C-alpha cells in the first residue's frame, strides 16, 4: 500500500513540476514586454509581472503543491514586482517565496560559475531554460542544455558553470526550509565565505 501511495505521489509531483515549468515559460513571454528601471544593485519592474489569469493559475498550482505537502497557503506571496539580486556569477530573481517553497530565475553569465555547494534543509529542482552549461553533481559532470531538468536533494554537492557564449538561464524550485543561509561552500571561484548566498 505504501509503495502504491509513493508511486501516486511521485507521479503527481512530476506532473506538478511540469505545470510549474509550463507556467514559468508563459511568464517568460510576459517578461519580454516589460520595462525595467535599473539601479546599481536592484532592478525593479515598472509594471505587474503577471496578468490576472496567469497569477491565478500560478496561485492554484502553488496551493496544490502546498496542500500535497500538508501545508495550506493562507495568502499569496507572489510578487507584484520582482527584485533582481546581483551575484559575481550573474543574478537571480525571486519569483515566488514562502518559508518552504521558492521559485527563482537564475542567470549565469558566460564563463562564470556558481560555487560547488550543498544545502542541508532543502531540495532543489532545476529546469534549463536557455543556454549551455556544465552541471556537476557529487563530482559527476553532465552537460546542461535547454529543456534539461535536474533534481538536487539536500546534502547533494552541486555546481553549474556557463560554458556557452550566451546567458545560461535556469528556473529553480526550492522545497524544504528555504533559508538563503543554508549553504555550505566547498569551493568558490570568488572566494566567498559559507554564509553568503549562492
Convert the pLDDT of each residue in 175-198 to its tens digit: 899 888 899 999 999 998 755 455
Instruction: Please check whether residue 128 is in contact with residue 146, taking contact to mean a CB–CB distance below 8 angstroms.
Output: yes
Q: Which domains does the chain have, with CATH numbers?
A: 2-187 (2.60.120.10)
pTM of the model: 0.61
Burial class of residue 121, CB neighbours in 10 A (0-12, 13-18, 19+): middle
pLDDT digits (tens, 9 = 90+) for 147-174: 888 889 999 999 999 999 999 999 898 9
Measured between alpha carbons, how far is 28 from 50 in angstroms, rounded to an integer?
Answer: 10
Q: In this model, does residue 29 exceed pLDDT 60? A: no
Running DSSP on this structure, what letter comes out for residue 85?
E
Give the CA angle between residues 172, 175, 176 to the nearest 5°.
145
The interaxial angle of helices 52-68 and 2-31, nearest 10 deg, is: 160
The mean per-residue pLDDT over the stretch 112-139 comes to 93
pLDDT digits (tens, 9 = 90+) for 66-104: 554 454 443 334 444 566 788 999 999 888 788 888 888
Amino acid at each position: 500500500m505504501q509503495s502504491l501511495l509513493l508511486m501516486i505521489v511521485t507521479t503527481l509531483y512530476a506532473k506538478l513540476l511540469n505545470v510549474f515549468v509550463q507556467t514559468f515559460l508563459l511568464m517568460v513571454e510576459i517578461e519580454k514586454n516589460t520595462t525595467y528601471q535599473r539601479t546599481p544593485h536592484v532592478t525593479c519592474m515598472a509594471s505587474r509581472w503577471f496578468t490576472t489569469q496567469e497569477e491565478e493559475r500560478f496561485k492554484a498550482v502553488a496551493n496544490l503543491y502546498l496542500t500535497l505537502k500538508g501545508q495550506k497557503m493562507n495568502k499569496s506571496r507572489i510578487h507584484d514586482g520582482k527584485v533582481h539580486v546581483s551575484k559575481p556569477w550573474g543574478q537571480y530573481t525571486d519569483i515566488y517565496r514562502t518559508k518552504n517553497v521558492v521559485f527563482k530565475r537564475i542567470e549565469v553569465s558566460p564563463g562564470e560559475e556558481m560555487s560547488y555547494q550543498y544545502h542541508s534543509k532543502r531540495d532543489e529542482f532545476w529546469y534549463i531554460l536557455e543556454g549551455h552549461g556544465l552541471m556537476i553533481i557529487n563530482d559527476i559532470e553532465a552537460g546542461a542544455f535547454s529543456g534539461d531538468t535536474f533534481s538536487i536533494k539536500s546534502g547533494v554537492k552541486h555546481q553549474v558553470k556557463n560554458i556557452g557564449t550566451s546567458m545560461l538561464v535556469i528556473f529553480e524550485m526550492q522545497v524544504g526550509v528555504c533559508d538563503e543561509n543554508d549553504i555550505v561552500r566547498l569551493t568558490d571561484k570568488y572566494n566567498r565565505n559559507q554564509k553568503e548566498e549562492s
